Amino acid sequence: MVQDCTEKMSSSMTSSVTGMGLGGITGLTATLNILTCSKEPQITIGGMPSNYVPGISSNYNISSFCQRPGQTQRLPVQRSGPTAQQGSRNSPNTIYAHNLISKLADQNERRRRQDAMEMISLSYYSQAPLKVELTEFYSRDNAKEHHTDQYDLVNATLLANPVLRRGQNFYFAVRFDRAHDKQQDIVRIVFCFGPKPSVTKGTRVVLPVKFDTLQPNAIPHPRDVIGQGIGMSRVQVHETSASVTPAVSMPITSVSPISTVRETAAYGIRRTSISNETVTVNSPLSPPAPQERPVVERFGASQHSFTRSVGSQQGSMQNLAAIAPELDKWDLSILRQDGNTVTFQVRIPVTAPVGVWNCWVQTNRVGQRDNRNDYKCDEEIYILFNPWCKEDPVYLENDTSRKEYIQNEQGKIWCGTWRQPKGRKWIYGQFDDIVLPACMYLLEQSGLEHSERSNPIRVSRAISSMINTNGKNGLMVGRYDGEYKDGIAPHAWTGSVAILERYLTSGGKPVEYGQCWVYSGLVVTICRALGIPCRSVTNYVSAHDTNRTFTIDKFFDKDGNEVPNGPDEDCFDSCWSFHVWNDVWMQRPDLPQGYGGWQIIDSTPQEDSDSVFQCGPASVEAVRRGEVGFQYDTPFMYSQINSELCHFQEDDSSDWGFVKVPSNQNQVGRKIITKAPGKEDDEGETDLLEITSEYKLSESTAAERQSSIAACRGSQRLQQYYENPDRSGEDVAFDLMAMEVIHYGQPFDCTMNIQNKSNEDRTIWCVLTASSCYYTGAIASRLRRAHGEFIVRAGQKEVLKLQVTPQEYMDKLVDHSMVKVHAMAYVKQTSQAWSDEDEFCLNKPNMQVQVRNHPTVGQENGIAFSFQNPLSVHLTDCFFTFEGPGIQRPRQIKFRDVKPNELVNHQDRFVPTRIGDCHVVVTFSSRQIDEVVGSAAVSVRG
């Protein structure tokens, strides 16, 4: 095709060189027209083809007698003799006659068609496609309706990015270089998502602009007033002539003006800062007036509130119910038209993929599709899930729940032990300008298809896989051995923002270091930023069943020492003091009715799922009922809160060498808690909400036993090894006493009570051990151990105590200052065996945080941190970490050495950036003591 066009163009050029007159010159024009419009269907204007050029006859091929440029005319050699032809067509006379008739035909045809040309508007040939001069997405005004006005990206001074929620309308305006021609101008608005946008996959949307469907309430202005200066105060000019209708004013809204100008030359864009002042404007790019939001019933009892203009292309107020299914589609309509400026209303369907979208404005003329202007808007459009929209699977009906699980920027993550839970304040900071970009990059790294990002089930599962670094280049490196010299210790973080910023600015390098509770805080930040309701959940005495027996097996030798990994070194079960995961709220159309609501996702790498370290979403209701056949990873989550903790002691009389030892207190899933919605307690634990009943059926019920049987179904382990021995002949009671609150730096006693209930003396062998341990259950160091044999008289009680001094534990404690106490006993006369264990944390001093005066936006204010050093040694390598949304971005402050038992007091300053109530979180760390944490509520005025 290209070769044919080139030959035709060459022929046309030759005809002009050889003096073939107007026909030759216009031949070149026709050829160029062929090159640009050969694929377009022929369009008739005024009875003539739209691509007609005068001087070219439809029955005349000028290339039949012209030579290529630079060549001479070569005529065949005239033959002589009998075969010679008289009057050869290539003779000079024949060529002259042919040229003459061609020229005469051209002149006649040009005269005949000149009259028709006068009927065609010259604008058809003279005007190029529309060009975009300026776009405005009304980021701040749309954000109010979309509940995204807290995002820093929306409120950026230089370039505000639209942050929108699917299932709602938004507005944007486009200013063209001239008024549009309804008959000839074609405009399309295109939204693209991902590296390979596809219409069929829902990642590319082409919305044609229907200029003839202007809404009845749209207000066309008689003249364009936008040229008086973008970003500066503009006054609308009204015509005084009676022949011109005065401009009608839209409702005036005080907005931040457009702070930049885009100058378009060809397809280039240049930005220039003009103004940052807030003024009241009334112009074609002023935000549209609020629209009435009718309610449409869908899917029976379901209702959906949305914004839609009356009389748009798809329907009006009278038939909104009929067009309800159209709410799942993109829609574009013209809200108003002001000279060269058009304001559009776009509806984002509730099924739109979540992520960063780009907007293009395509313009061309009728019949000239290849001659097209493509304008890419500079703004990146963030589209999020919508918990305010009833049609979105993440919809939350309760406003209190939305404020807590979507909008709350701070919260508590619970650590400690089941007897003494400790809430750790955490700044989620989901509205920080670094968070959404980091979320989008993490989703890209997860490998989740862009077309699947409309499904919160798939998105939340991808999030659980990208927080950890096991198997891929995730967000954070986990470490549990206390060696953090080449990174930052997990307890030194105050929130998620610093972690995400470090990850993004380092080019996606995993951040060091984190643990399950840090992972959980990051998941809350990412989910809430994307619009998925999320909460942090702590399970105390959390099982990690590695062989899928729904048991956690521990083995001990004859002397009461634990046998690591069991006698065959193939048992890697563990029981964590606490484990933190997340619940996300969504409907589950892939499960039977009743299994929606809270779903468990766990970002801490323990077991791979589908060859990836990921977990969930598993229905909380399915876990509660023991329905382990449902997706995703329900059996694993069930085992974490329902497995049986089994202790086995070496015994020569046993056929397999070990016997199961009964226990008083060992129970998996002792307590499951989260932060209570709407409550904040900076000093106590009154904001604790226990949700064990949401995860487990009531104890000692037939229903629980049935669910346990259902969960263990399919296990082929020989259950007789897990049966408790007959305890009817036991006559000695053992009890390991719970520890009271022990302050860091103070001694403590481990106590075991023994009561002989028989009428005879009993000889008892026992062992009592205190060890420092990681919260994963692994032993770090033995602090002290006592064992022996003694006689308990008939009907008498004995008390065993093991005292541990600060000097014995100070340099052996690890994260969370956790101590595990283990006790074992054996009665020689009756062969009664018993075992139990307990854990507790040493209490660190609280940090006192005091804010001076009354903080005001933009004004410097003072803040003070103080605490008492509980140790009789110097504290070295000291530093504070300070953070508060709208108060202070994460900042680390180096501090001098602290003297023994000194009252530490540090003064600092901050400058608030936004109005409202928030919390400040401060941590102190040193080589000798860490996890000194404090927080305070701060109310910032305007």
- Helix ranges, 677-742 (H): 692-695, 702-712
**Nearest partner of 125 among 79, 65, 47, 181, judged by Cα:** 181
228, 339 contact by CB (below 8 A): no
Q: Which of 146, 491, 544, 579 is catalytic?
A: 579
Across 329-488, where does the E strand assignment appear? 331-338, 341-347, 355-365, 368-376, 381-384, 410-416, 421-427, 476-478
Region of 199 (left: φ > 0; alpha: ψ -120 to 50; beta: rest) is alpha
- Kindly tell me the sign of the dihedral angle through the C-alpha atoms of 252, 256, 261, 267: negative
Question: How far is CA 910 from each of CA 32, 157, 428, 891, rounded to the nearest angstrom?
Answer: 67, 21, 19, 11
Asked if omega into 171 is within 30° of 0 (cis), the reply is: no
Instruction: Please list, in sequence order, all residues whose beta carbon lies within 8 angstroms of the beta carbon of residue 919, skipping any fewer than 6 positions away.
Output: 410, 425, 427, 680, 682, 884, 935, 936, 937, 938
Cα separation, 809 vs 929, whole angstroms:
13
Residue burial 546-564, b: 16+ Cβ < 10 Å; e: rest = beebbbbbbbbeeebbbbe
Tell me the H-state helices in 127-270: 139-146
Q: How far apart are CA 3 and CA 389, in angstroms?
A: 57
User: Considering 432, 553, 602, 633, which one is annotated as catalytic?
Assistant: 602
Whether residue 602 lies in the annotated active site: yes
Whole-angstrom Cα distance, residue 155 to residue 846? 36
CA distances from 38 to 1, 65, 109, 525, 780 (A): 9, 24, 23, 55, 79
- State residue 859 phi and psi, 5-degree precision: -115, 140
The gap from C-alpha 596 to its chain's centroid, in whole angstroms, comes to 21
b/e code 203-235 from CB counts within 10 Å (16+ = b)? bbbebebebeebbeebbebbbbbbeeebbeebe
Query: Out of 377, 516, 615, 712, which one is annotated catalytic?
Result: 516
The first and second tokens of residue 125, run together, are 């040939």
* 3-class SS of residue 31: helix
Q: Is 5 a catalytic residue?
A: no
Q: Is 597 left (phi over 0), alpha (psi -120 to 50) or beta?
A: left
Q: Which residues pair with 262 in a beta bridge?
A: 271
Q: Which residues are CB-contacts of 403 (< 8 A; sequence separation ≥ 6)?
A: 677, 678
For the chain, helix (H) and strand (E) counts, in that order, are: 15, 46
Residue 919 bears catalytic tag: no
CB atoms within 10 A of CB 776: 20
Residues with a catalytic annotation lie at 516, 579, 602
